[in-house]
């Protein structure tokens, strides 16, 4: 009986750990690809908000590159190309995701995953290193 | 200079929105803010790379305030789309694969 109780407590603790890990991932900005056909509007909303914030930073990055005359290596062609590619893909996915989020409907995983990829590309890009003067 | 003036106005609007409350005056205040944004739009478009984040924040704050009507929501969505379109028009200025060649190439050497 005692072992059973210990097992139950351990199982509950492990489940709690999984939820905690998910919450920590969200705080750290780690967004994972969906493996199901759809995701909930709540999950999509979190990634959509992250994309909106990153896009704001990307706009600042573009402004920085132009006003500072493309300092290297931050504003190198490859870095700018990566940012633009992520924004174009992200904008298209973000536009498609808006209506289901507003309606509380499930979001197609392909669109969601496109937005996650855009978020990850923007997180990997040097947009946060640019300081607008 | 123009961008600094617009940013100052947008900063004041951003500070006002959390204070709007739920009184009868709130509705007319939201209308006034939307009208102000609409009138500022030509300047916002000109300085979009500087004021983009502020405008998007204001639109987002108003949309999430729970006080906007369907008509106001539509107006805000239209403003949002116009700001995004303005930014999309600025993108070629940093696009290394732009039709006119890499705008950063002249500065790279």
pLDDT in tens, B24-82: 788 888 889 999 999 999 999 888 888 898 999 999 889 888 888 888 899 999 999 99
Q: Are B56 and A52 a contacting pair at CB < 8 A?
A: yes
Q: What is the pLDDT, as a whole number, of residue B102?
A: 82
The reply to whether A103 touches chain B by the CB within 8 Å rule is no
pLDDT at A36: 85
Interface of B with A in 38-57 (CB under 8 A): 48-50, 52-53, 56
Q: Specify the pLDDT at position B53.
A: 87
| Complex ipTM value | 0.72
Q: How far is A132 from chain B (nearest CA, A)?
A: 9
Residue A131 has pLDDT above 70, yes or no: no
CA A126, CA B16: separation in Å to the nearest integer? 33
Q: Is B23 helix (H, G, I), strand (E, B) or coil?
A: coil
pLDDT score at B37: 92
The more confident residue out of A18 and A35 is A35
Shortest Cα–Cα distance, A76 to chain B (Å): 8
Q: Name the more confident of B103 and B78.
A: B78
Provide the pLDDT for residue B22.
73
Q: What is the pLDDT of residue A84?
A: 92
B21 shares contact with chain A (CB less than 8 Å): no
pLDDT of residue A30: 66
Provide the residue ranges of all domains of chain A, joining segments of one domain with +: 1-30, 32-128
Answer positive or negative: Cα dihedral of B6, B11, B12, B14. Answer: positive
Helices (H), chain B: 2-16, 24-46, 48-63, 70-90, 105-108
Residue A118 confidence (pLDDT): 93
Predicted confidence at residue A15, as pLDDT, reads 58
* Range scoring the smallest mean pLDDT among A7-16, A43-52, A123-132, B35-44: A7-16
pLDDT at position A107 over 90: yes
Poorest-pLDDT segment among A35-44, A101-110, A122-131, B56-65? A122-131
- Answer whether A80 sits within 8 Å of B84, measured CB to CB: no
pLDDT at A28: 54
Exposure string for A91-129, b = 16+ CB within 10 A, e = fewer: bebbebbbebbeeeebbbbebbbbbbbbbbbbbebebee
Searching chain A, which residue's CA lies closest to the CA of residue B96? A77
> In the prediction, which pLDDT does B39 show?
92
Mean of the per-residue pLDDT values of chain A = 82
**A88: which residues sit within 8 A by CB, 6+ positions away?**
none
Structure tokens of B20? 């709007």
Q: What is the mean pLDDT of residues A108-129?
A: 90
pTM comes to: 0.74
**Given this model, what pLDDT does residue A25 score?**
59
Q: How many CB pairs under 8 A join A and B?
A: 57
pLDDT attached to residue A18: 57
Average pLDDT over residues A69-78: 89
């Amino acid at each position: 009986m005692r072992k059973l109780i210990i097992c139950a407590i351990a199982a509950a603790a492990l489940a709690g750990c999984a939820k905690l890990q998910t919450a920590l991932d969200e705080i750290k900005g780690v967004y994972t690809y969906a493996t199901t056909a759809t995701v909930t509007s709540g999950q999509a909303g979190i990634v959509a908000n992250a994309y909106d914030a990153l896009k704001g930073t990307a706009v600042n990055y573009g402004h920085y590159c132009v006003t500072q005359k493309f300092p290297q290596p931050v504003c190198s062609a490859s870095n700018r190309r990566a940012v633009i590619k992520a924004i174009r893909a992200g904008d298209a996915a973000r536009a498609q995701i808006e209506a289901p989020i507003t309606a509380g409907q499930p979001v197609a995983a392909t669109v969601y995953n496109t937005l996650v990829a855009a978020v990850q590309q923007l997180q990997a890009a040097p947009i946060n290193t640019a300081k607008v003067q | 200079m123009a961008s600094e003036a617009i940013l100052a106005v947008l900063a004041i609007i951003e500070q006002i929105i959390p204070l709007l409350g739920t009184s009868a005056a709130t509705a007319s205040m939201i209308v006034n803010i939307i009208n102000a944004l609409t009138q500022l739009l030509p300047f916002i478009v000109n300085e979009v790379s500087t004021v983009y984040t502020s405008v998007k924040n204001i639109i987002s704050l108003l949309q999430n305030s729970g006080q906007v009507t369907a008509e106001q929501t539509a107006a805000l969505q239209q403003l949002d789309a116009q700001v995004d379109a303005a930014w999309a028009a600025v993108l070629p200025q940093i696009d290394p694969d732009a039709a006119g060649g890499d705008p950063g190439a002249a500065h790279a050497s």
